[in-house]
Amino acid sequence: MSDVLVVVESANGVLKKVTLELLTLARDLGTPVAVVLGAPGTAAPLTEKLAEYGAAKVLVAEHEDLAGFLVAPKAAVLADIVRATSPAAVLLGSTQEGKEIAGRLAVKLDNGILTDVVELSADGVGTQVAFAGSTIVHSKVTRGIPLVTLRGNSLTPSPAPAAGAVETVEVTVPAEAKLATVVQRVAETKGARPELSEASIVVSGGRGVGSAENFKVVEELADLLGAAVGASRAAVDSGFYPHSFQVGQTGKTVSPQLYIALGISGAIQHRAGMQTSKTIVAVNKDTEAPIFELADFGVVGDLFAVAPQAAEEIRKR
């Protein structure tokens, strides 16, 4: 079976869930080979878990210049790896970093690319959701090695340990890979909540929440459920919540098991970022709100009454 490269994403020595999904997917396409690109010491805490999810080999490229989110040098190193290994496909997460690396890689290799797929068949046909969800597209790369980015939470990762010992191969980082330097890091996460695009539960607030102060109601419910907090663009533009938490066409795309929309009307641009959620619950005081067309469960009511009641019930369990 041909090798399928899986570009690994991790934070603080822990694999991102999308990497486990990619390994699970890669097993249907060929032999999963994990590629770790990062600062020295990145790979060591990850290899056991990578093997548990089927990585037969781990290619390790570690260098100070690959630390953090410096995508240009990562794309340069990855291009060398792809040229040297000629895999059947290269899989990346549809994260900010994954998509940027994939785009750069496609240009470097002059290859076709499928971004943001929610399914990929064994014969390489990817399923994408286009035009804010109104169209489902099935496409296939016809030029070069397929580069595919997978939307997080598209499938349930399952372990399947690779047979035999995992082989770790050191990869040389070319000197010209150093194309940028980090000058400042700004923390954007709020507390210890899960990362928005990875979370299996998301509780989002819209303009109906009314103020930054009122977002406590959204956060309280999210924390009880172990969920990430999201926001509509109207909430972000009104200054209720930071932009990095915006869900939608011009924000993040989420696909959790459960999406709870509080005071969100359900504009098409918001739907674009959350409509592949497995179960959608909407709370809105307007019976005509378009979000109810999409919701699996709808509650017509004031979010300031419904959300605290839901929180109370959850606390009792």
Single out the residue of 251, 277, 281, 310 in contact with ligand FAD (rule: CB under 6 A). Answer: 251
Place of tokens 């989420």: 254
Rounded distance between C-alpha atoms, residue 102 and residue 130, angstroms:
19
Binding residues for FAD: 207, 232-233, 246-250, 263-270, 284
Q: Is 196 in the site for ligand FAD (CB under 6 A)?
A: no
Task: Provide Rg for the chain, Cα atoms.
Answer: 21
Single out the residue of 38, 98, 194, 208 in contact with ligand FAD (rule: CB under 6 A). Answer: 208
Rounded distance between C-alpha atoms, residue 85 and residue 82, angstroms:
5
Please report, to the nearest 10 degrees, the dihedral formed by the alpha carbons of residues 173, 175, 177, 181 taken in order. 110
What are the structure tokens assigned to 284, written together?
A: 């809105």
Per-residue HEC secondary structure of 162-186 comes to: CCCCCEEEECCCCHHHCCCCCCCCC
Q: Which is nearer to ligand FAD, 53 or 245 (CB)?
A: 245
| 8 A C-beta contact, residue 234 and residue 266 | no
Stretch near ligand FAD under the rule CB under 6 A, chosen from 9-17, 85-93, 188-196, 204-212: 204-212
19-48 binders of ligand FAD (CB under 6 A): none
From residue 3, give the alpha-carbon distance in Å to each of 29, 133, 161, 309.
8, 33, 16, 51
- Please tell me the count of residues contacting ligand FAD according to CB under 6 A: 28
Q: Is 98 in the site for ligand FAD (CB under 6 A)?
A: no
Q: Is 94 in the site for ligand FAD (CB under 6 A)?
A: no
Q: Is 155 in the site for ligand FAD (CB under 6 A)?
A: no
Order across the sheet with 113-120: list the strands. 135-139, 126-130, 113-120, 147-150, 89-93, 3-7, 31-38, 57-62, 167-170
To ligand FAD, the closest distance from the beta carbon of 249 in angstroms equals 4
To ligand FAD, the closest distance from the beta carbon of 127 in angstroms equals 22
Stretch near ligand FAD under the rule CB under 6 A, chosen from 21-29, 133-141, 152-160, 268-276: 268-276
To ligand FAD, the closest distance from the beta carbon of 63 in angstroms equals 35
Single out the residue of 19, 154, 246, 277 in contact with ligand FAD (rule: CB under 6 A). Answer: 246
What are the structure tokens assigned to 173, written together?
A: 């980082």
Single out the residue of 202, 289, 294, 295 in contact with ligand FAD (rule: CB under 6 A). Answer: 289
Stretch near ligand FAD under the rule CB under 6 A, chosen from 136-144, 170-178, 218-226, 246-254: 246-254
Q: Is 311 in the site for ligand FAD (CB under 6 A)?
A: no
Rounded distance between C-alpha atoms, residue 44 and residue 68, angstroms:
16
To ligand FAD, the closest distance from the beta carbon of 210 in angstroms equals 7
